A and B are shown apart, each in its own frame.
Chain A
Amino acid sequence: MNYALAVYGATGNSQAGQTALSFAKAVLASGHSISRIFFYQDGVQNASSLSNPPQDEVNLPSEWQALVQQHGIDAVVCIAAALRRGIVDAGEAERYQLPANNLAEGFELSGLGQLLESLIETDRLITFGA
Chain B
Amino acid sequence: MATLHTVNKNGQPLELCLRVVNKGDSLLLIEDGVYALFEVPDILAELIKDVSLYVLEADVLARGVSNRNELEIELVDYQGFVSLTETNEKTLSWF
Contacts and interface: CB of A to CB of B under 8 A. Distances in A.
| Chain A facing B: main interface SS | mixed
B85 A29 contact: no
A41 to B, nearest CB: 11
B19 to A, nearest CB: 17
Given A15-B31, A124-B85, A126-B85, A23 B78 contact: yes
Which of B81, B82, B85, B94 lies at the interface centre, i.e. has the most chain A CB atoms within 10 A of its CB?
Answer: B82
B11 to A, nearest CB: 13
Interface string A15-57: 1100100110111011010000000000000000000000000
Contacts, number: 48
A81 to B, nearest CB: 16
A15 to B, nearest CB: 5
A129 B93 contact: yes
Interface string A52-69: 000000000000000000
B42 interface: no
Contact of A30 (B82, B93, B94): B82
Chain B: interface size category: 10 to 19
Tell me what chain B mostly uses at the interface: helix, strand, loop, or mixed. Answer: helix
Given A15-B31, A19-B31, A129 B82 contact: no
Given A15-B8, A124-B91, A129-B8, A1 B79 contact: no
Contacts of A15: 8, 31-32
A22 B76 CA distance: 13
Interface of A: 1, 3, 8, 15-16, 19, 22-23, 25-27, 29-30, 32, 124-130
Interface of B: 8, 13, 30-32, 56, 58, 77-79, 81-83, 85-86, 91, 93-95
